[in-house]
Structure 1
Amino acid sequence: MPRFAANLTTMYPEHDFLDRFTAAAADGFTAVEYLFPYAYEPAELRRRLDENGLRQVLFNAPPGDWDAGERGIAALPGREPEVRAGIDRALDYAAALDCPRVHMMAGLLPQGAQTAAHRETYAANLAYAAGRAAAAGVDILIEPINGRDMPGYFLSRQADAHAVVQEVGAANLKVQLDLYHCQIVEGDLTTTLRRDLPTGRVGHLQIAGVPDRHEPDEGELNLRHLLDTIDESGFDGWIGCEYFPKAGTSEGLGWLHTVRGENA
């Protein structure tokens, strides 16, 4: 059965962030992910994990100026020093939290950008990051993101992500496959899972309902079928629950109880 990690950025908004670890553990989660750890000291986050018997399985590298609208800088020429400093900072947190994966966001393309220059910058930054992360036993992940939620994002299609991974050629550079984004951009999720999971290039999965990004059994996806397909592939990684609960988080976990064969 797939292993699920609670995304503490999107789930449990009824609690302050640091209290979300306890709430997730109380609902039976054994792992967590979230966007960014940098507003908190590593020791405090480590304490929350340990007190609740949780594993940290993913977070993002620094994304540039998030509050000003930046969504990553890895594909932005001229930002290389910031990218490198950000990777070092992310790896310090990964060591403290024993986190094996760091997602690097590519960024938004400016109007009229020359895509080739951005791709060259992206590949070079990913190669650098993967090299630094390899020594720490950490995987670097890249994620295609749909243009409805994030217009102008550099990477939106699975094939493009896999092409970059193959071009860079680092064993610890992998794709983060979010089924919500993939369904919106290109659909055909069953074929995508059957094609890409056996390659070993997918390091992490995420789920949410389509089109509204609520619980994963809400909307147009057949969650049970997709989870069965993931199981059939032999994928043994984590599935991040990166969705916005429709009402209370715990009240909306009927889908998880069903998957686990529990009584809600």
Structure 2
Amino acid sequence: MPRFAANLSMMYVEHDFLDRFAAAAADGFTGVEYLFPYEHPVAELRRRLEENGLEQVLFNAPPGDWAAGERGIASLPGREAEFRSGFAVALEYAATLACPRVHVMAGLVPPGADVADRHQRRHLYETNLAWAAAHAAQAELDVLVEPINQRDMPGYLISRQGEAHELVQRVGAPNLKVQLDLYHCQITEGDLTTTLRRDLPTGRVGHLQVAGVPDRNEPDSGELDVAHLFHVVDDVGHDGWVGCEYRPRGGTSEGLGWLAAWQGASA
């Protein structure tokens, strides 16, 4: 049965960030994820986890200047030293928070980039991921690669599942894995049942995420039959975390009926 983690960057925004841990625990979540922890002292984050009986499931490595529109620097030429120093900080946070996985965002390809430029950026991303995976392995952590759809993030380097799996296979590090967000996958290529049945048994998928399509709200309406998809996850024997990375239509707690219904039906 999937285990569900609340994404505190998108959920419980009616609370201050540090208060979202308690709110998630009160609703029965046992794990949390979020985009970035770096604005908060790591000791305070750990205290919030411990006080509320929560596991830290995932966060992202530093993405560059997020406010200025950067979405990762691991594929950006000339930013190699910045990437490596930032990833070292991510490892420090992960160690203190007992977080077993860190997502490394690739970055954006500038408009008009030619084939050679794209190839260079993919090669650099692969090189940086190999370096990151080697250092993360020393701490027994997984490094994740996530395909992100071009509607939400135009120009993102990796958009399709096949691209991510090929990259992971080329690097060949056992702790480099794919972050499969069903929302992004449905928008880009669909065929989610086949994707889950094909990719989960490979062991290359390190984390799942879900949101409703097309509006990234609760996964209780729209294009996804999440009850069916969660049954597929069960059928293939995958027991990892599913991150709830969506924007609630209203109050977060009031919108969790979809989760209660699934847990009740699968009990």
Q: Same fold (TM over 0.5)?
A: yes
In the TM superposition, what whole-angstrom CA distance separates every residue of 1:69-93 from its partner, at most 9, and x where no partner exists?
0000111111110110011000000
1:204 deviation in Å?
Answer: 0.0
Task: Tell me the amino acid that sits aligned with residue 59 of structure 2.
Answer: F
Separation (CA, whole Å) in 2 of partners of 1:218 and 1:206: 16
In structure 2, the residue corresponding to 1:134 is in which secondary structure? helix
1:183 equivalent among 182, 186, 189: 186
In the TM superposition, what whole-angstrom CA distance separates every residue of 1:11-46 from its partner, at most 9, and x where no partner exists?
001000000000000000000000000000100000
Separation (CA, whole Å) in 2 of partners of 1:236 and 1:75: 31
In the TM superposition, what whole-angstrom CA distance separates every residue of 1:89-127 from its partner, at most 9, and x where no partner exists?
000000000000000000000123211100110010000
Aligned to 2:36: 36
In structure 2, the residue corresponding to 1:111 is in which secondary structure? coil
Aligned to 1:131: 134
Task: Tell me the amino acid that sits aligned with residue 116 of structure 1.
Answer: H
TM-score scaled by length of structure 2: 0.97
Separation (CA, whole Å) in 2 of partners of 1:82 and 1:145: 23
Q: Which range moved further: 237-246 or 108-117?
A: 108-117
Task: Tell me the amino acid that sits aligned with residue 126 of structure 2.
Answer: A
Aligned to 1:107: 107
Work out whether 1:16 is the aligned partner of 2:16.
Answer: yes
User: What are the residue-to-residue correspondences of 1:116-155 with 2, within 5 Å?
Assistant: 116-155=119-158
How many residue pairs match? The answer is 262
Separation (CA, whole Å) in 2 of partners of 1:199 and 1:235: 11
In structure 2, the residue corresponding to 1:216 is in which secondary structure? coil
Task: Tell me the amino acid that sits aligned with residue 234 of structure 1.
Answer: G
Aligned to 1:211: 214
Separation (CA, whole Å) in 1 of partners of 2:112 and 2:163: 20
Aligned to 2:242: 239
Task: Tell me the amino acid that sits aligned with residue 173 of structure 2.
Answer: A
What's the Cα RMSD here? 0.7
TM-score scaled by length of structure 1: 0.98
Separation (CA, whole Å) in 1 of partners of 2:216 and 2:93: 28
In structure 1, the residue corresponding to 2:67 is in which secondary structure? helix
User: What are the residue-to-residue correspondences of 1:20-99 with 2, within 5 Å?
Assistant: 20-99=20-99
In structure 1, the residue corresponding to 2:179 is in which secondary structure? strand
In structure 2, the residue corresponding to 1:29 is in which secondary structure? coil
Separation (CA, whole Å) in 2 of partners of 1:188 and 1:105: 24
In the TM superposition, what whole-angstrom CA distance separates every residue of 1:129-151 from its partner, at most 9, and x where no partner exists?
00000000100001000000000
Separation (CA, whole Å) in 2 of partners of 1:209 and 1:119: 30
Gaps of 5+ in 2: none
Separation (CA, whole Å) in 2 of partners of 1:64 and 1:233: 37
In the TM superposition, what whole-angstrom CA distance separates every residue of 1:43-71 from its partner, at most 9, and x where no partner exists?
00000000000000100000000000000
In structure 2, the residue corresponding to 1:66 is in which secondary structure? coil
